[in-house]
Amino acid sequence: MDPAFAVLLLSAIAAAASTVGVLPLVRRPHVPLVAIGWAHALAGGAMLGAAFVLMTATPNRSPDVAALGALLGIAFVRLTHMASGTEDLDLDRLDETSGMYGYRVLLVNALHSAFEGVAIGAAVMVDLPFGVFVALAMGVHNVPEATALSAVLRAHGVRLRHAAGLAFVSNVPQILMAVATVALIRTEPSLLPWALGFAFGAMVYLVLAEHLPESYRKAGYTTIALVTIVAMGIVVLMGGGRGG
Ligand SMILES: [Zn+2]
C-alpha cells in the first residue's frame, strides 16, 4: 500500500476513534472527577507505551540523532504552549464557564494531537505493520482523551453530538501532521530517526506536562500510577521491541 494513502487512512481511523470517547457521557452528563483522572492516566500510559516502541524502532546507527530529535520535540511542545498561552492551563475546570476557556482547552487538545500525528507518520515510514500498530494504539488512546475533553465540553453545555464532533475536530491536526511527516520523510529519508525521536520527546513531555498532573489532581497517586503503568505495559508488550 502506498504510504501516503496508508497514513491518511490510519490517522483518520485513529482520529475517528475519538468520537467513541463521548459514550460514557450518554447516560450521565456529569462524570466524576476521579473518572476524568483515570481517563487521563489511560491516555497518558498508552502514549508512554507508544513513545517507547517508537524509540526502539530507531535505526541502530542513529541513536544520537533520535536523542537530538527528542530534545527538539520537547522544545516544540514547550514553544507551542508558550506561544498559545496555554502552558499553565488546567484542562478539567468543570466550573469555568467562559467561552474563552472552552476555546483554549480545544486548542491544547488540537496541539497535543498534532504531535501524535508525527508519531503515526514516522511509524508508517518504519514499515506498514508498525504504522498500523502505532495508529491503533493512538486511536485507542484517543478514546479516554476524548472522554476527558467531552466531560469539560458537556459541563459547559455543549450537546453530546457536538462534543463528539469537536473531539474529532481536535484530532484533525493528528491526520494533517501524520500525512506531512510521511511526505517529509519520503522526500528526505534521513529524517526518519529525527521524526521518531521528535515524536518520542514530544509525547513523553505531553504526558508529564498535561495528562499526569491532571490525573494526580483528580485521583490518588497510587491508582493513577498503576493505571498509567498498566496502559503503558500493554502497549509496550503488544508493540514489542524493535531494537537489537
Ligand atoms: Zn494524547
pLDDT of residue 91: 58
Name the residue among 66, 64, 56 with its Cα closest to residue 193: 66
Q: What is the mean pLDDT of the chain?
A: 88
The Å distance, Cα 95 to ligand 1 centre, comes to: 23
Determine if the pTM surpasses 0.75: yes
The Å distance, Cα 137 to ligand 1 centre, comes to: 10
CA distances from 213 to 36, 94, 129, 141, 230 (A): 12, 16, 33, 17, 18
The Å distance, Cα 87 to ligand 1 centre, comes to: 16
Structure confidence by residue, pLDDT tens digits, 16-44:
999 998 898 888 777 788 888 888 899 99
Q: For cell 490517522, name the residue.
A: 11
The Å distance, Cα 111 to ligand 1 centre, comes to: 10
The Å distance, Cα 141 to ligand 1 centre, comes to: 7
Tell me the one-letter amino acid at 221. Y
Domain boundaries, the chain: 3-23+51-239
Mean per-residue pLDDT pooled into runs of 10, the chain (244 residues) = 91 94 83 85 93 87 85 93 74 63 82 94 94 92 90 85 93 96 95 95 93 83 91 88 50
Name the residue among 27, 16, 30 with its Cα closest to residue 151: 30
The Å distance, Cα 91 to ligand 1 centre, comes to: 13
CA distances from 100 to 178, 198, 208, 209 (A): 28, 30, 25, 21
Judge contact between 67 and 197, C-beta under 8 A. yes
The Å distance, Cα 62 to ligand 1 centre, comes to: 26
Helices 99-126 and 128-155 meet at what angle, rounded to 10? 170
Distance from the Cα of residue 204 to its chain's centroid: 10
The Å distance, Cα 10 to ligand 1 centre, comes to: 16
pLDDT of residue 174: 95
Name the residue among 111, 46, 72, 44 with its Cα closest to residue 196: 72
The Å distance, Cα 145 to ligand 1 centre, comes to: 6
Interior angle at CA 198, CA 192 and CA 204, nearest 5: 135
Residue 96 region by backbone torsions, left for phi larger than 0, else alpha for psi between -120 and 50, else beta: beta
Judge contact between 117 and 176, C-beta under 8 A. yes
Tell me the one-letter amino acid at 58. T
pLDDT of residue 240: 65
pLDDT of residue 214: 79
Residue 61: other Cβ atoms inside 10 A: 8
The Å distance, Cα 148 to ligand 1 centre, comes to: 11
Interior angle at CA 196, CA 216 and CA 49, nearest 5: 35
Judge contact between 149 and 185, C-beta under 8 A. no
Name the residue among 59, 52, 53 with its Cα closest to residue 189: 59
CA distances from 242 to 53, 104, 127, 225 (A): 7, 38, 11, 26
The Å distance, Cα 47 to ligand 1 centre, comes to: 6
Integer Cα distance of 166 and 190 in angstroms: 36
The Å distance, Cα 234 to ligand 1 centre, comes to: 16
